Structure 1
Amino acid sequence: MKALKYLGPGDIGFRDVPIPDPVRGEVLIKVAACGVCHTDTSFRNNPELALTPGLTLGHEISGTVSRLGDCVQGFSPGTPVTVHTVWSCGSCRQCSAGRQNACLSTGGRLKPAHGPGTRYDGGMAEFVVAPARALVATSGIDPVAAAVLPDAALVPYHSIHDAASLLTEGASALVIGIGGLGQYAVSILSAVSPVRIIAVDNRDSALDAVRDSADVVFNSAVPDIEQRILEAAGGYGPDVVLDLVGSTQTLDLATAVVAPYGTVRVPGQSNGTFTFETDRTTTSIPRGTTINRPYSGTYQDLVDVVELARAGRIGIDLQRYPFQEAVSAFDALDAGRVSGRAVLVMD
């Protein structure tokens, strides 16, 4: 079969490899589609070794069950599925409590649980094996849309779900960064909450994707952006801020506008920093604010996301690329030519 491999710094390419065999507890999946995100392109662009050379890329996977390993129940050949990106141990106290994204068997407190395309061979291939406990059935959902649910939709859903107590009538939420995750954040907020939604990006083309679903959109380059956000949120700021960029600039904006006893959730990973001050005369962070750095989402979060997609309540722009044009999809994403999410589609 064909697989898109990480070959070293700046180098990815197709290789012919054997179809893998599922072992006990695993399932062989015939891949239908696989999303391409900035995590994938960052591996290629890293000037240093980012992954084990020879690893198959791709962590946003949809397909159909092809073959079962021993002791697998609940799935049968032909079942359409998507794959949770967190392949946790399944037995530690966090996993037992349903918090697979906080698995304690990763080797260190700063190491998250990995999955396909980061530690194990991923879905940019004709077939992939995955633990049966990581699969969610996706009958009734377009496989191209199903592919991106385990990351582009799961990441914002996890933050939104955890902040549900703040997302009440009269509250507001700010989404910073309207790429694929940002589009899903707006879509999910619209589907599950009554809040006023404010969207911010530095690209008008990105904001165009959510003008009909967000209540207010701002280009972050406009003068007095902080004041405009505060006014749009009723003067006291948004109760929930999702920073899907994570740069110093966006962190400064997030902490400058969040409401008292609000929350800033930062899934973005653009190497940003901010200063936490306790001096009430200089700090921009109001009393009661929580700042959270979430990781992925739980298995139940993915089940919830799949149900929202199956009901037609969430969705974003998707740009489809034939699998053999995967490198072109990487290039387009790097060049800013992708609105929403790029998805590789198998023949």
Structure 2
Amino acid sequence: MKAIQMVKPGSEPELREVDKPSPGPGEVLLKVTAAGACHSDDFVLNLPPEGFPYPLPLTLGHEGVGVVAELGSGVTTLTEGTAVAVYGPWGCGVCHFCSRGLENYCSNAAELQIAPPGLGAPGAMAEFMIVDDPRHLVPIGDLDPVTTVPLTDAGLTPYHAIKPSLPKLVGGTTAVVIGTGGLGHVAIQLLRHLTPSRVIALDVTPEKLDFAKEVGAHETVLSDADAVANIRKITGKDGATAVFDFVGYQPTIDTAMGAVGTMGDVTIVGLGDGQAAAKVGIWAQPYEVSVRAPYWGSRSELIEVLDLARDGALDVAVQTFGLDDGVDAYRKLAANDLRGRAVVVP
């Protein structure tokens, strides 16, 4: 079968012929109907060779949707032909966090060498993929695989990031979204659907800001050296109630910390270069500001996101690619030349 694989750090992925996998005991084989490309993939592709954390070659794709093609022995909770989405942050299933459905924070994953698909385990950028346990599959019914697959990360991650701030985002408050790409444009829609807050979107070009308004932003601000001042022209001296940074480089984190108001939330979602950090201290930001750096989301939250999609609350912008030209999707991702999310359809 064909698969898009990372072969060596610092190089673009390659379309390769690999063996079709067979499910072992407790596993499920999916015929992939859609796979999403993500900035996390680009981050991994550019990690240095020294201490690279995953075995290579690695089939990419931690966003996957497919149809159950074959069941491993002992699997009785699924039937072949069922359309499903893959819950990506796999865990042990029994630790304190996994028992609460938060496999994204599994205490034992590193020790047991459990890795998400595309981020250690073979991923969805292929004609078929193995899912390690049926609990990591969520039926999607008649949802469109192409617009559904980004929701497994680009929908789940912002939803998980926003939920803790919902009690604060009442009438008269302001939410700021930094970065209006794959995750950010979904965050804007979630904030508009789940809260009465005024939503301010930041990005680096007028075209991206126009896109932010199309998906629901009330106000837009160019992400530059004057961003904090321009946000505060809108919010007044109270500042923003919640700021969600989907970029994660030092300048955007500094903008988030400068725009947030007293008792507000700053949530850093974007990976950036992996080195940036928020400066926190008694005089470093307004009083009682909470700073979080969440990761992905829970299986139950994925179900909630899919329900929002069924209700028509989410309209994910996608660009589709065939598997044969899937490497070009990663080129466009690296060049920041995508409107919304790249989806590869085998």
Where on the TM-score scale, by shorter chain, does this alignment land: which range? over 0.9
Post-superposition offset of 1:234: 4.4
Counterparts of 1:222-233 in structure 2 under 5 Å?
Answer: 224-233=226-235
Alignment match, 2:109: 106
**1:183-239 CA-partner distances (Å, limit 9, x unpaired):** 010011112111111100112222221213111011113x74213212323431121
* Residue 277 (str. 1) matches residue 277 (str. 2): no
Cα distance in 2, alignment partners of residues 209 and 25 from structure 1: 44
Post-superposition offset of 1:21: 1.5
Match of residue 152, structure 2, among 150, 153, 162: 150
Post-superposition offset of 1:50: 5.7
Alignment match, 1:46: 47
Letter in 1 for 2:325: E
Report SS of the residue matched to 1:295: coil
* Residue 122 (str. 1) matches residue 123 (str. 2): yes
Letter in 2 for 1:73: T
Preserved CA contact (<8 Å) 2:250 2:276: yes
Cα distance in 2, alignment partners of residues 23 and 95 from structure 1: 22
TM-score (norm 1): 0.93
Q: Cα RMSD (Å) of the superposition?
A: 1.8
Cα distance in 1, alignment partners of residues 67 and 210 from structure 2: 34
**1:46-89 CA-partner distances (Å, limit 9, x unpaired):** 34246321211111101111111223233211111111111110
Report SS of the residue matched to 1:232: helix
Alignment match, 1:333: 333
Match of residue 166, structure 1, among 158, 164, 168: 168
* Residue 244 (str. 1) matches residue 246 (str. 2): yes
Match of residue 62, structure 2, among 53, 59, 62: 59
Post-superposition offset of 1:23: 2.1
CA pair 331-11 structure 1, distance change in 2 beyond 3 A: closer
Cα distance in 2, alignment partners of residues 325 and 183 from structure 1: 25
Alignment match, 2:85: 82
Preserved CA contact (<8 Å) 1:103 1:113: no
Alignment match, 2:182: 180
Preserved CA contact (<8 Å) 1:43 1:51: no
Preserved CA contact (<8 Å) 1:21 1:129: yes
Counterparts of 1:25-40 in structure 2 under 5 Å?
Answer: 25-40=26-41
Alignment match, 1:138: 140
Cα distance in 2, alignment partners of residues 135 and 278 from structure 1: 44
Preserved CA contact (<8 Å) 1:43 1:50: no
CA pair 8-214 structure 1, distance change in 2 beyond 3 A: same
Post-superposition offset of 1:11: 4.6
Report SS of the residue matched to 2:84: strand
Cα distance in 1, alignment partners of residues 218 and 327 from structure 2: 36
**1:132-190 CA-partner distances (Å, limit 9, x unpaired):** 11111111211111111111111100011122211212221100011110001001111
Report SS of the residue matched to 1:286: coil
* Residue 342 (str. 1) matches residue 342 (str. 2): yes
**1:242-284 CA-partner distances (Å, limit 9, x unpaired):** 01111111111111111211111101111313322323xxx3x
Cα distance in 2, alignment partners of residues 70 and 83 from structure 1: 20
Counterparts of 1:280-295 in structure 2 under 5 Å?
Answer: 283=284, 285-295=285-295
Report SS of the residue matched to 1:58: coil
Alignment match, 1:217: 220
- In the alignment of these two chains, the number of paired residues is 339
Alignment match, 2:259: 257
Match of residue 70, structure 1, among 69, 73, 80: 73
Counterparts of 1:297-336 in structure 2 under 5 Å?
Answer: 297-336=297-336
Preserved CA contact (<8 Å) 2:171 2:197: yes
- Larger mean CA deviation between 45-54 and 187-196 belongs to 45-54
Preserved CA contact (<8 Å) 2:174 2:197: yes
Alignment match, 1:5: 5
Letter in 2 for 1:56: T
- Larger mean CA deviation between 260-269 and 48-57 belongs to 48-57
Report SS of the residue matched to 2:325: helix
Letter in 2 for 1:85: G
Unaligned runs of 5+ in 2: none
Preserved CA contact (<8 Å) 1:102 1:112: no
Post-superposition offset of 1:22: 1.6
Cα distance in 1, alignment partners of residues 300 and 59 from structure 2: 26
